[in-house]
Structure 1
Amino acid sequence: MKRGPTFARCIVVDDDPDILLSARLLLRDLFEEVAAFQSPDEALAAMHEGLPDVILLDANFGRGATNAAEGFHWLGEILKRDPEAVVVMITAHGGVQIAVEAMKRGATDFVSKPWSNERLLATVRTAAALRNSREAASTERKRAVAISAPVSGGETPLLGRSPSIARVFSLIERAAPTEANVLILGENGTGKELVARELHNHSRRADGVMVSVDLGAVAENLFESELFGHVKGAFTDARGDRIGRLQAADGGTLFLDEVGNLPLHLQPKLLTALEQRQVIPVGSNKPVSIDIRVIAATNLPPERLADESLFRQDLLFRLNTVEIELPPLRERREDILLLVDHFVALYSKKYGKPERALPNDVAMALEGYDWPGNVRALRHAAERAVILAGDEAFTVEDFSLSRTGAPRPSTPPSTTGGSDLNLERAERHMVEAALKKHAYNISLAAAELGLTRASLYRRMDKHGL
């Protein structure tokens, strides 16, 4: 039974059409595509269509040329375009010195004319395998960086002394040592990712990785590739095998953030992978086993999660063996000053600012504020205050509470009539109204406002939401 090509693409560059034809016939069983060019310029242009596994490059192009100057020039141009390019130089018979110089300049190997078919095949096969191993090593380096990077806010511990946050600590303590999947509920900014990190750090998998996936930010057409991985050639631009996030988390914890924003038609694919504990990379038919513990988080309230038109109940049952609900900051006001002190100390050290007093009137204003953006909004307010405050004591104005809705009118200003025509305040009220209407679901609020998720996040930060 004839085996299919082992590698994806080879480019051959030589001014002799007979050499090009010979190379194409010889290498066609080794590569899915063998592209032949008499002009090095055309070969460079073809690299934009897809980087090859191997480039066979003639050392001399001009009639009577023997010093390989042109070949060295084009070798340099190729390596400028792709520093990882694997180039095999084609030299005239006996051109050992040229071959040695070519390898000094970055060529991987060389073959001499007239070549032995067996020698050429062996050289090219080895060179292509080298390219693949380089790509695999690069992928692993990127994977290591991605999974070892601290999660956002990772330097911030989960703080609080209120009864509601004490219950959260208790649930973490009991659930962390188990293998149970955990679903974390809470508004944006309440610290769901911090809870996930605590669960991982106190689990039996703490020595493994915690891989985080923001499902609200993954494009639908890239969902399977991002989560399950793909093999080389599975689709356009799939130039090498890629490990998916589920496989990257093998032996550790997978944190599925904003799982409530996962489109309904993609939910069965995630459910199948979790139930079968295996993934099939895009373009492959070979399943890969995974050993992961799943922690998921969403800002959707329980009643929205119970809606079959939004979220599959079989997936919900798979995710919420243990459910932890984080209270909004307005429901644990006794923790506000503790958090303010922590963030003020953190940013004073970061920006080299002096310690400042927090007068009683400022403390009362901070405790009385509703903090619609929760801990995240408080953190941003503390950072601004540290940067903007004078040298002695903080003022209410340093925290920009007047601009962020304190005090707030009981009803938003009319956009069609009304006395308040200030655009800043009107924008803030519209953003806040959309967020509240959709229980701080960023995707739904952004759609209602006619904004992208990124644009909504910028406006939330601008208005302290």
Structure 2
Amino acid sequence: MKQAGSILIVDDNSDILIAARLLLKQHYQSVKTTDNPFDIEGLITQQKSTDFPIDVILLDMNFSQDAISGKEGFYWLKKIIEQDPSIVVLLMTAYSDIQLAVDAIKAGASDFIAKPWQNEQLLGAVAAAFSHAKDKQQVGQLTRQTQGLSQALNQSVSGQHFSFLGQSAAMKDVFQTIEKAAQTDANILITGESGTGKELAAHAIHQASQRRDNAFIGLDMGAVSHSLFESELFGHKKGAFTDAKADRMGKFELAHGGSLFLDELGNLAMAQQVKLLAALQNRQVIPVGASKPINVDIRLICATNDNLQNAVNEGRFRQDLLYRINTVEIRLPPLRERQEDIPLLCEYYLTHFGQKYKRHLNILPEDMQKLCQYSWPGNVRELAHAIERAVILTEGETLDTRSVITSNSDSTDALFDVAASSGSSHAYDTFDLEVLEQRTVRAALTHHQGNVSHAAKALGLTRGAMYRRLEKYGL
């Protein structure tokens, strides 16, 4: 059986080309020849767009201009290394010389073959060259993956990860489902309102899985433009488009062996859904500007606050893609459905932000009771932002929960009667545009049950503009 791989033989002697090709084609899938070294660059480029990019080049050291010094061989060796350093070069010459061989190795050649050769000797040298080429390709891939992982970590929006907590019956069911599903490679769909902790759940799944020692790569599909969708997910080759100044791994490759988390999946356009489905079905991706597919091994975790079945019924989401991504569906309950978890969460965030801001605070029982009675339309995310704000603004040792409510309540859903505490009957009467905007955004979120896409549409905002306001007001 022939070994996968591609060889290029470069020599100005046609007899050498024929002899080498006849020998090597018995053992390797692709053997190309040329008698002109000026063809090398074009052949390397041409083969890259096929299933057989060149792995090894057998290069003569002496062409017509120079009979014995080997200068031409060294010149073309340098050119090959500059064009593609992953290619392994074996130099050939009829004028064997120890110093010439040493210089060839120093210049970057893998080995030095004297002509005429013994067939066993040539086959052994070529086999070693292919092994070397494979090692270089793996190192190059690992280097690109490391660089990509570093970039992915640097681009993390949150910059921190909180614990996934809960002791309510609803959350115990979630934890049990995660524990069971995590042990398999089944694709998982996490649903729930905005702020319920879908990304934290995805991290919990990854950490409980057999892939925990490999990468967890996340991507917010709502923040990816249509033009960059393929580049972000599948990667691109240098020169594939205007800003493609170097090869870049996509999220699928970066997550190879680990977990890929796609958030806000309901925002995908139909054309993008087709491409994602193809990648999942084939377990392969093709970087932009490339023609050779790359095999990928990922565990897919998706999340959405949209009702994807409704989206299917409305023609906004593909039924076959929905089947593919939700082998197991995990619904995260909103905070109003698990109010018994609020004290646990409050204490956790109070400790976390207390350490961050070097504060030691406590919450009075009556204030905790009021916090538990609040509906928290922004769910756990809102609670975390509210506690952080209170930790910053509190002056004594007891958490001033009025700062939480003043920043997060509107006139129809207030926890505390701030008007009474301030002695004013018009504490909520205001013409402050920022306050009015905050209340309007909150009302839209509440009306649409935390669905950011629908709330943004109702307000006439883009998703990006909506997310900026959520961040601004801690919703």
The TM-score with structure 1 as length reference comes to: 0.68
CA contact (8 A) 1:136 1:240 kept: no
Give the counterpart letter for 1:351 in structure 2. Answer: Y
Instruction: Identify the residue that residue 99 of structure 2 maps to in structure 1.
Output: none
Which of the numbers 175, 178, 188 marks the counterpart of 2:181?
Answer: 175
**Distance in 1 of aligned mates of 2:191 and 2:71:** 67
Classify 1:420/1:383 alpha carbon distance in 2 versus 1 (closer, same or farther; 3 Å).
closer
Q: How does 1:285-304 map to 2 (within 5 A)?
A: 285-301=291-307, 303-304=309-310
Asked if residue 143 in structure 1 is aligned to residue 148 in structure 2, the reply is: yes
| Aligned amino acid, residue 356 of structure 1 | L
SS of aligned partner of 1:208: coil
Go from structure 1 to structure 2 and tell me whether the alpha carbon gap of 1:282 and 1:267 turns closer, same or farther (over 3 Å shift). same
Q: Closer, same or farther in 2 for the Cα pair 1:30/1:444, shift >3 Å?
A: farther
The 1:444–1:294 alpha-carbon spacing in structure 2 relative to 1, beyond 3 Å, is same
Establish whether residue 126 from structure 1 lines up as the match of residue 81 from structure 2: yes
The AA in structure 2 aligned to 1:123 is K
Cα offset, 1:265, TM superposition: 2.0
2:391 corresponds to 1:380: no
Distance 1:361 1:406 in 2: 21
Counterpart position of 2:271: 265
- CA-based RMSD of the aligned residues comes to 3.1
Which of the residues 464, 467, 470 maps onto 1:457?
467
Inter-partner Cα distance in structure 2 for 1:445 and 1:28: 60
1:438 to partner: Cα distance: 4.4
CA distance in 1, matches of 2:295, 2:39: 34
Q: Secondary structure, in 3 states, of the residue corresponding to 1:254?
A: strand
1:276-425 equivalent positions in 2, closer than 5 A: 276-301=282-307, 303-353=309-359, 355-399=360-404, 401-405=405-409, 408=412, 421-425=431-435
Counterpart amino acid of 1:226? E
Secondary structure at the counterpart of residue 396 of structure 2: coil
Question: Is residue 35 of structure 2 the alignment partner of residue 30 of structure 1?
Answer: no
Q: Which amino acid aligns with 2:401?
A: V
Unpaired runs of 5+ in structure 2? Answer: 1-7, 9-36, 44-69, 88-135, 415-428
Deviation at 1:117, TM superposition (A): 5.6
**1:76-106 deviations in whole A, cap 9, x for unaligned?**
xxxxxxxxxxxxxxxxxxxxxxxxxxxxxxx
CA distance 1:361–1:336, shift in 2 (3 Å):
same
Q: Is the 8 Å Cα contact of residues 147 and 209 (structure 1) preserved in structure 2?
A: no
Q: C-alpha offsets along residues 351-405 of structure 1, whole Å, 9 cap, x if unaligned?
A: 111x222113321221111111111111111111111111321222232x12312
In 2 relative to 1, CA 451–305 (structure 1 residues): closer, same or farther, beyond 3 Å? closer
CA distance in 1, matches of 2:141, 2:324: 33
CA distance in 2, matches of 1:304, 1:259: 14
- Separation of aligned partners in 2, 1:212 and 1:365: 36
2 CA distance for matches of 1:162 and 1:226?
38
Question: 1:153·1:194 contact (CA, 8 Å) conserved in 2?
Answer: no
User: For residue 251 of structure 2, what is the aligned residue in structure 1?
Assistant: 245
Q: Within 1, Cα distance between the matches of 2:159 and 2:81?
A: 46
Residue 29 (structure 1) shift? 6.6
Shift of 1:116: 6.1
Contact 1:301/1:439 (8 A) holds in 2? no
Query: Which residue of the other structure, out of 432, 456, 475, is the alignment partner of 1:446?
Result: 456
Aligned residues: 350
Q: 2:231 aligns with which of 225, 233, 245?
A: 225
Taking the TM superposition and a 5 Å limit, the aligned residue runs for 1:51-90 are: none
Is the CA contact 1:187–1:439 (under 8 Å) kept in the aligned structure 2? Answer: yes
Any stretches of 5+ residues in structure 1 without a counterpart?
Answer: 4-25, 33-114, 411-418
The equivalent residue for 1:204 is: 210
Are 2:443 and 1:433 aligned? yes
- 1:110 is matched with none
Q: 1-side partners of 2:275 and 2:339: how far apart?
A: 41
Greater CA drift, 195-204 or 125-134: 125-134
Change in CA separation of 1:451 and 1:131 when aligned onto 2, cut-off 3 Å: farther
Contact preservation (8 Å) 2:308, 2:322: no
Partners in 1 of 2:303 and 2:257 — Cα distance?
A: 20
Q: Which moved more, 1:429-438 or 1:239-248?
A: 429-438
In structure 2, what is the Cα distance between the partners aligned to 1:439 and 1:397?
25
Secondary structure of 2:407's counterpart equals coil
Return the letter of the residue paired with 2:191.
L
TM-score (norm 2): 0.66
Contact in 2 for aligned 1:147/1:210 (Cα 8 Å):
no
Report the residue type matching 1:459 in the other structure: R
User: Following TM superposition, by how much is the alpha carbon of 1:268 offset from its aligned partner in structure 2, in angstroms?
Assistant: 0.8
1:171 to 1:452, Cα distance in 2 relative to 1, 3 A = same
Residue matched to 1:10: none
Residues 362 and 398 of structure 2 are in contact (CA less than 8 Å); yes or no, is this contact kept in structure 1?
Answer: yes
Q: Say if 1:300 and 1:439, in contact at 8 Å, map to a contact too.
A: no
Amino acid across the alignment from 1:265: A
